[in-house]
Chain A
Amino acid sequence: MSAGYRGAGQRDEISFGNLGAEPLPDKISQAAGGASPAIATSGLSKRFRGGQLAVDSIDLAVSRGCVYGFLGPNGSGKTTTIRMLLGLVQPTSGDQELLGVSMPAGANTVLSRVGSLVEGPAFYSQLSGKANLARYDAADRTADRRTAEARISAALDRVGLLSAARKHYRAYSLGMKQRLAIAAGLLGPRELLILDEPTNGLDPQGTREVRGLIREIAAGGTTVFVSSHLLAEVEQICSHVGVMRTGKLVFQGTLEQLRGRGATRILVRTAQPARAAEVLAGLGLQDVQAGQDEASAQLGEQPPEEVCAQLVHAGVPVAGLATPRPSLEDLFVQLTGEGFDVDG
């Protein structure tokens, strides 16, 4: 029976050409000096029994020590991916490794080094916060009973819940519940933290604190894999991002690479926009537009100073020149689509 539990490995499904994604940044796997990557999947897919293809052949590569933001709109398959990584859901096809151990076969050995928060907190409502952590700690066969008290207090302290430790869980507010869930992931030293929307339901202070906590944990060498649909959050804490859209990984790389992906435009403020547009078109720039008092075009590979020189040379009075880069939000929307409706 347990043999059937392993996902059927289908190595030949590996594809690096994911919907216009950048070539996989190979430094990701080398950054940790040869150590196995924190998370590596190839062709990981999940089709639910209803026929829904929730995750479609994704190749995640999360190197050790990085903070990886896992982005995507609602229903894009983030939680399903995380469930597969943790061995809760059996992949339909594909291989996956956590900290170099094949999953889900190695779940019992590797998961004790992984802290997790999946789709919101879940605890026993009749128990206090502290008793809840003791319950989860008791289930961990690598946890030492003698240090449980100290570790539980330390974890509660880290999320600022020490004063509410004896309160019943059912009396916790949404944010307190969320904090307790993070505390549960910190009961032991972890090499990898997998957090599914950890700031959900937190107040601004709580959000800030969690961001600080994640930074602090990452600074200690723990790899953090955090799913979110809050771009600002990802921008602030993550070094790497993966972007999901309807089950596909449409981008993976560093935050810089994502920013660099956006096609920069050149914007010329001038009294003669039509003339400027002519020059820009003459230079071979794409998508030339002329407005009231400005002209713009896709900059492409042209150096902006060169374009400026050409404009001046052609007698265009240049009042201002800008090369605005698209915001992360623009890029995100470009990658995941404009629509408000949930895909699939």
Chain B
Amino acid sequence: MSTAEASGPAAEASGPAADLTGTRLDPVRQPGYRAGPVIHWIRFLCSELSLIFLRWRNLALLAVLAAIPVLIGVALKLSASPAGGGSGQGPAFIGQVAGNGVFLALLSLTVLLTLVLPLVVAVVAGDSVAGEAGHGTLRYLLAIPAGRTRLLGIKYVAVVIFCLAACGVVTAMSLAMGAALFPVGPVTLLSGTTISLGAGLLRLVFVTLYVAGAMAALAAIGLAVSTLTEHPIGAIAAVLVLALASEVTDSVPQFAVVHPYLPTHWWLSFDALLRSPIAWPELLHGLTSFGIYVIIFGAIAWARFTTADVTS
């Protein structure tokens, strides 16, 4: 097996292999195959999304998110009938649900934001890179090459889409339960104004998007943590601990100075959307906070991921 025999001109190199697979991928000779980065980006994103959404664990998490509004709705229905929901205790919106089922969505989002939604997002975001590293699939993705920046971008976009789906599931399920168990009609906002049901539902869509934005900020933190380890469980736990620590700090008045800077501080500020007129300063504060967290932790994730040794 001499070198002289084996080596051919580079042009021939891909010949027989290409014939075998019935295609040529040479970008120089076949410019048509460079269908543009967008097409390839979308294809990769779809692959990523199918991995996330066809995974039993993630589907189970979404099912939990769907089940909790049902539980809350049934519990309220059972307790509301005799007492008439007179007490002023409990989370926001709890008093309004019996009068208007639309408020079940707001109540569910409020309740789920304390633990379950962050948990679900932490699982998917913390697993995003660390899971691939732990499985060893990361080294193959990078050797393909998927491109480190591109892979990170796809991962983040896919997790954000999952956040949207998670929040959407809560809202949709709550609306269905609310409509089934309680009367539904024009919505009385927190400021006392009453708007039509259609306008109320539109506000609810914005609330859902706002909560998804909050979760996207948490997902950015999760992504950054995920690039630091090859143990997905560790990353998930770290993100959850961070979120809970932030919530605890937010509830201690002595720490009032740092409250506005906490990642969880603005999560419940979606009630700004339930006023007439909309309380823009608070809303923008919240959105700015999410944006800054996305930028900072996105940058950390990128800096880490594009330079890290992949030894898993």
On A, residues with C-beta under 8 Å from B are 1-2, 4-5, 27-28, 31-33, 35, 63-67, 83, 86-90, 107-108, 111-112, 114, 116, 118-120, 122-126, 134-136, 138-145, 147, 150-151, 154-155, 158, 184, 186-191, 217-223, 238-240, 254
Q: Closest approach, in angstroms, between the C-beta of B256 and any C-beta of chain A?
A: 36
Bound-complex Cα distance A2 to B111 (A):
42
Bound-complex Cα distance A219 to B6 (A):
6
Bound-complex Cα distance A238 to B3 (A):
10
From 263 to 310 in chain B, residues with beta carbon under 8 angstroms from any chain A beta carbon are 302-303, 306-307, 309-310
- Cβ of A220: which chain B residues have Cβ within 8 Å of it? 13, 15-17
Q: Closest approach, in angstroms, between the C-beta of A177 and any C-beta of chain B?
A: 11
- Cβ of B35: which chain A residues have Cβ within 8 Å of it? 144-145
Interface contact A88-B25, CB-CB below 8 Å: no
Interface contact B7-A65, CB-CB below 8 Å: yes
Known: A111-B143, A154-B22. 15 other contacts (CB 8 A): A33-B9, A35-B9, A66-B7, A83-B139, A83-B310, A86-B139, A87-B145, A89-B310, A90-B309, A122-B135, A140-B40, A142-B27, A189-B25, A190-B14, A221-B16
Number of A-B residue pairs having CB atoms within 8 Å of each other in the complex: 190
Q: Which of A27, A89, A155 contacts B311 (CB 8 A)?
A: A89
Q: Which of B20, B46, B150 contacts A154 (CB 8 A)?
A: B20
- Cβ of B306: which chain A residues have Cβ within 8 Å of it? 1-2, 5
A124 nearest CB neighbor, chain B only: B137
Interface contact A240-B135, CB-CB below 8 Å: no
B195 at interface, CB cutoff 8 A: no
Q: Closest approach, in angstroms, between the C-beta of B36 and any C-beta of chain A?
A: 10
Interface contact A111-B144, CB-CB below 8 Å: yes
- Cβ of B311: which chain A residues have Cβ within 8 Å of it? 83, 88-89
- CB within 8 Å for A136 and B144 given contacts A67-B6, A158-B20: yes
Bound-complex Cα distance A109 to B39 (A):
18
From 33 to 54 in chain B, residues with beta carbon under 8 angstroms from any chain A beta carbon are 33-35, 37, 39-41, 43-44, 46-47, 51, 54
Interface contact B142-A87, CB-CB below 8 Å: yes
Closest 5 CB pairs of A and B: A65-B7, A122-B136, A220-B16, A138-B47, A189-B14
Interface contact A116-B143, CB-CB below 8 Å: yes
Could you name 11 residue pairs across A and B whose Cβ atoms are closer than 8 Å? A32-B10, A67-B1, A88-B309, A112-B25, A123-B137, A124-B51, A124-B135, A134-B47, A140-B144, A150-B21, A221-B14
Q: Closest approach, in angstroms, between the C-beta of A260 and any C-beta of chain B?
A: 15
B192 at interface, CB cutoff 8 A: no
- Cβ of B139: which chain A residues have Cβ within 8 Å of it? 83, 86, 88, 118-119, 122
Bound-complex Cα distance A326 to B17 (A):
38
Question: Per DSSP, are chain A's interface residues mostly helix, strand or loop, or mixed?
Answer: loop
Q: Closest approach, in angstroms, between the C-beta of A169 and any C-beta of chain B?
A: 10
- CB within 8 Å for A188 and B25 given contacts A64-B7, A239-B3: yes
Q: Which of A28, A88, A108, A219 contacts B147 (CB 8 A)?
A: A108
Bound-complex Cα distance A221 to B46 (A):
35
Interface contact A221-B146, CB-CB below 8 Å: no
B257 at interface, CB cutoff 8 A: no
Interface contact A239-B2, CB-CB below 8 Å: yes
Q: Closest approach, in angstroms, between the C-beta of B265 and any C-beta of chain A?
A: 30
Bound-complex Cα distance A120 to B135 (A):
11
B80 at interface, CB cutoff 8 A: no
Q: Closest approach, in angstroms, between the C-beta of B60 and any C-beta of chain A?
A: 13
Q: Closest approach, in angstroms, between the C-beta of A62 and any C-beta of chain B?
A: 11
B138 nearest CB neighbor, chain A only: A122
Interface contact A111-B13, CB-CB below 8 Å: no
Q: Which of A33, A90, A140, A189 contacts B307 (CB 8 A)?
A: A90
Bound-complex Cα distance A28 to B4 (A):
10
Interface contact A118-B140, CB-CB below 8 Å: yes
- Cβ of A35: which chain B residues have Cβ within 8 Å of it? 9-10
Interface contact A217-B143, CB-CB below 8 Å: no
B141 at interface, CB cutoff 8 A: yes
Interface contact A154-B21, CB-CB below 8 Å: yes
Interface contact B144-A139, CB-CB below 8 Å: yes
- CB within 8 Å for A4 and B27 given contacts A67-B6, A191-B14, A239-B6: no
B115 at interface, CB cutoff 8 A: no
- Cβ of A143: which chain B residues have Cβ within 8 Å of it? 25, 40
B18 at interface, CB cutoff 8 A: yes
- Cβ of B309: which chain A residues have Cβ within 8 Å of it? 83, 88-90
- Cβ of B33: which chain A residues have Cβ within 8 Å of it? 142, 144
B22 nearest CB neighbor, chain A only: A150
- Cβ of B303: which chain A residues have Cβ within 8 Å of it? 1
Q: Closest approach, in angstroms, between the C-beta of A115 and any C-beta of chain B?
A: 9
Q: Which of B6, B37, B39, B135 contacts A145 (CB 8 A)?
A: B39
Q: Closest approach, in angstroms, between the C-beta of B252 and any C-beta of chain A?
A: 37
Query: Interface centre among B46, B151, B310, by most A CB within 10 Å?
Result: B310
Q: Closest approach, in angstroms, between the C-beta of B34 and any C-beta of chain A?
A: 8
Interface contact A65-B3, CB-CB below 8 Å: yes
From 146 to 192 in chain B, residues with beta carbon under 8 angstroms from any chain A beta carbon are 146-147, 150-151
Q: Closest approach, in angstroms, between the C-beta of A128 and any C-beta of chain B?
A: 12
A155 nearest CB neighbor, chain B only: B21
- Cβ of B137: which chain A residues have Cβ within 8 Å of it? 122-124
Interface contact B15-A221, CB-CB below 8 Å: yes
Interface contact B43-A138, CB-CB below 8 Å: yes
